[in-house]
């Protein structure tokens, strides 16, 4: 797919291809046009929402087998078109091809998990004769969709984070409208192709690359009672404030910490921790909500860990995302790179030491390692969303727990310890959504509950957990039974 394509790419309106009146140029990090797409008109957006509303009955009546077959089909087709879709992600997003390939594989797993969960979506049976008043009574409890879902996806995982909204919605029988990020709509449109190959009811899904200024009207629409948003904290909080009566799921990122304690082990263990920290501070050019940003190191091993992280970071190859040897690719655009470098420069002016990196070439920033960073510097207390890692010494578990919890974010934390009691203490005392013991905070299995506390969001992703979020209990009581 290239800018040479003669006609702008259509979008998916109520399960069918449609062209709009306006055009959106999708540009890679280098500013070159990758493809052009159509932008829906207001009338087409209204048509899509009305179709979702009308599709609620047919969608809910789909058998569990029909839902599972559709989801399984998408999973299989993603793997069949693996290389093509990975190349598309790299083109629109800039992430190195090796990470784009992993994203496609993960998205296929999300749909496979959803197919498996759909087949188990059977509800519960409760005998009510535990009290005399319930004699002869039996309750059937099932979960039903709360209504159509508005899924708003970000640019950093343009396929997998769309999958985390679409797959659970379809599994519970909820119609869904996906709004991909304007910068990266192409892989979501390909996902629409795969959905169109299934027998899902007409109108059950739409993929609309609408501009961000059209989002408030969609958020406010009463026919979309569920909103699943992944993106920046200011936008997420504004959504929740605008529609407090709706069910809103927010994944808003953070500034994830990795803790390295002296008990982690021998020199080889510390070396492995430094390797993981360096890799996952930079693996998507830092554009991941759980990218390692802050590293809190037990004071006795601090200098050693710093030296090892710098050495690892200096070994990374930077360059274009399509290079098979590229470790750190460009940010999504040049403006993002300019912002990241400005935050590094602000920290240095305030007294921080830049040990390596921090040099911009267009949209690419060489991985930066900082120490002695003031607590109020943006690279410490905000979400950098770039290839920057900051290290600081702490005094044991007490100091690490206090430093992690001092952040206004709380998504995930990695703790390098081999002491079981210490692991459980961090699990009990850290105010975050997830604690990864023995590894970086960047680990995520797509079937596990994933989400944060404080300004990192509300609600949980992870297929089964999102299915619960998108649905509610309904009870039928049968009377006069011989139990």
Angle between helices 186-196 and 64-80 (to 10 degrees): 130
- E strands, 256-387, are 257-260, 294-298, 353-356, 360-361, 364-365, 368-371
289 given a catalytic annotation: yes
Radius of gyration of the chain (CA): 24
Active-site option among 251, 312, 383, 455:
251
Active-site option among 38, 92, 103, 289:
289
251 given a catalytic annotation: yes
CA torsion, ordered 103, 154, 243, 433, to nearest 10 deg: 50
At 109, give phi and psi (nearest 5°). -65, -40
Q: For 462-474, give the DSSP string.
A: SHHHHHHHTEEEE
Closest CA to 180 of 224, 228, 236, 242: 228
Cα–Cα distance measured from residue 458 to residue 7, given in angstroms and rounded to the nearest whole number: 41
As a whole number of Å, the end-to-end CA separation of the chain is 63
Cα–Cα distance measured from residue 433 to residue 429, given in angstroms and rounded to the nearest whole number: 11
Burial (CB count <10 Å: 0-12, 13-18, 19+), residue 447: middle
Burial (CB count <10 Å: 0-12, 13-18, 19+), residue 31: exposed
Cα–Cα distance measured from residue 385 to residue 398, given in angstroms and rounded to the nearest whole number: 28
The number of beta carbons lying within 10 Å of the beta carbon of residue 376 is 10
Question: Are 178 and 170 spatial neighbours (Cβ–Cβ below 8 Å)?
Answer: no
Question: Are 137 and 164 spatial neighbours (Cβ–Cβ below 8 Å)?
Answer: no
Q: Which residues are known to be catalytic?
A: 251, 289
């Amino acid at each position: 797919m290239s800018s040479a394509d003669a006609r702008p790419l259509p979008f998916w309106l109520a399960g069918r291809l449609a062209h709009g009146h306006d055009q959106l140029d999708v540009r890679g990090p280098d500013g070159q046009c990758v493809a052009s797409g159509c932008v829906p008109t207001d009338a087409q957006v209204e048509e899509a929402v009305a179709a979702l509303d009308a599709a609620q009955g047919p969608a809910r009546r789909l058998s569990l087998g029909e839902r599972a077959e559709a989801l399984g089909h998408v999973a299989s087709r993603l793997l069949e078109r693996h290389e093509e879709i990975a190349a598309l992600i790299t083109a629109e997003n800039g992430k190195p091809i090796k990470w784009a390939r992993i994203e496609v594989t993960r998205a296929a797993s999300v749909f496979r998990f959803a197919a498996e969960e759909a087949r188990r979506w059977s509800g519960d049976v409760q005998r009510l004769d535990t009290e005399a008043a319930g004699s002869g009574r039996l309750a059937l409890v099932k979960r039903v969709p709360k209504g159509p879902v508005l899924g708003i996806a970000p640019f950093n995982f343009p396929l997998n984070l769309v999958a985390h909204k679409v797959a659970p919605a379809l599994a519970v029988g909820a119609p869904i409208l996906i709004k991909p990020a304007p910068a990266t709509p192409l892989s979501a449109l390909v996902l629409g192709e795969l959905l169109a190959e299934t027998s899902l009811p007409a109108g059950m899904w739409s993929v609309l690359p609408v501009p961000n200024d059209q989002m408030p009207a969609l958020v406010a629409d009463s026919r979309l009672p569920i909103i699943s948003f992944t993106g920046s904290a200011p936008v997420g909080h504004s959504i929740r404030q605008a529609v407090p009566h709706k069910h809103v799921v927010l994944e808003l990122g953070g500034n994830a910490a990795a803790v390295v304690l002296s008990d982690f082990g021998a020199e080889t263990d510390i070396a492995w921790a430094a390797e993981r920290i360096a890799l996952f501070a930079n693996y998507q050019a830092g554009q991941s909500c759980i990218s390692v940003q802050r590293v809190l190191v037990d004071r006795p091993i601090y200098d050693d860990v710093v030296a090892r992280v710098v050495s690892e970071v200096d070994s990374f190859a930077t360059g274009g995302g399509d290079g098979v040897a590229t470790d750190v690719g460009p940010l999504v655009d040049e403006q993002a790179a300019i912002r990241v470098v400005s935050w590094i420069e602000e920290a240095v002016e305030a007294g921080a030491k830049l040990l390596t990196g921090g040099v911009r070439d267009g949209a690419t920033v060489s991985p930066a390692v900082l120490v002695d960073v003031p607590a109020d510097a943006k690279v410490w207390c905000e979400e950098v969303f770039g290839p920057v890692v900051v290290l600081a010494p702490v005094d044991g578990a007490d100091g690490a727990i206090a430093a992690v919890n001092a952040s206004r974010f709380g998504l995930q934390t990695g703790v390098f310890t081999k002491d079981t009691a210490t692991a459980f203490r961090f699990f009990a005392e850290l105010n975050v959504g997830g604690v990864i013991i023995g590894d970086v905070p960047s680990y995520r299995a797509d079937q596990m509950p994933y989400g944060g506390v404080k300004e990192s969001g509300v609600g949980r992703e992870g297929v089964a957990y999102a299915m619960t979020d998108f649905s509610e209990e309904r009870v039928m009581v049968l009377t006069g039974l011989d139990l």
